[in-house]
Structure 1
Amino acid sequence: MIRNLRFYKTDKAEWFVDLPEWDGDTEDLQMIQGADEWLDLLCNGADEIKLDISNEPFEPASFLTLIRLGEENLGGGANYFLETYQNKKVDLKIWLCEVAHFTFGEYPQRIYFAKA
């Protein structure tokens, strides 16, 4: 299933995902440790971007690959890698917190994404 998510940048240049159904702390929705760099790469200077994301391939999606699950004592989550984007080598490591697990019901081997 493809899901459309909105990401926005605050006045402090911090990225967050807009996830109204999240009942945890708002700070959990902040995109950090590479996820902010990923969004900066995709947004072309904008303060907001909408992405279609899925744990199943779709056209014309790029993808993040799971490297390893995070250690619970270090915040949990999962570490992903973006090797290329738009035929350019990126080599970006990205940490995604439990919000990714909440969104997919798991930490998928690949997270497919494309600008909506």
Structure 2
Amino acid sequence: MLASWNTTSTNPIKFTFYKESPGTWYIDLPDYPGPKGNLAMVAGTDDMLDFLAKGKNRVVVKMSEQPFAGALALDRVKVGEPGGGAYYKPLNHAIQSVWLCDVTLFALGKFPEHIYFQALE
């Protein structure tokens, strides 16, 4: 596990995402023990990354369980759908739904109830 989130922590963590041809987004997790395909961002997460990256093929995203100035927000809606993962509803964005796969458990240790995030670069 890379990071362990704590709902009282005020220290955001950062993740880098990159886009490969023909347009698939991946999270950069060099210590992830599974296949690269598991790191692909799909089902709304790719649309959110396109929005955050503003035309670039790489974006660093700051995330926290606590709100912070300028952050967008995701609220967890469902966990454990077929195929695992969790569904989130963006609170302040036009994208209707974002699915986060079980790699989230490797990266964050859980499916947080709320995720606040902002593109840094």
- Common fold by TM > 0.5: yes
Match of 1:82 in 2: 90
With the length of structure 2 as denominator, give the TM-score of the two structures.
Answer: 0.84
Which one of 91, 95, 108 corresponds to residue 112 of structure 2? Answer: 108
SS of residue in 2 equivalent to 1:92: coil
Residues 1:9 and 2:19 are matched in the alignment: yes
* Structure having greater relative contact order (Cα 8 Å, sep ≥ 6): 2
Match of 2:101 in 1: 97
Q: CA deviation at 1:62?
A: 1.4
Gaps of 5+ in 1: none
Match of 1:69 in 2: 79
Q: Provide the identity percentage.
A: 35
Q: CA deviation at 1:105?
A: 1.2
Aligned residues between the structures? 110
Q: 2:45 and 2:96 mapped to 1: Cα distance?
A: 9
Residues 1:22 and 2:22 are matched in the alignment: no
Runs of 4+ in 1 over 6 A off after TM superposition: none
SS of residue in 2 equivalent to 1:6: strand
Match of 2:66 in 1: 56
Gaps of 5+ in 2: 1-10
Higher strand share: 1
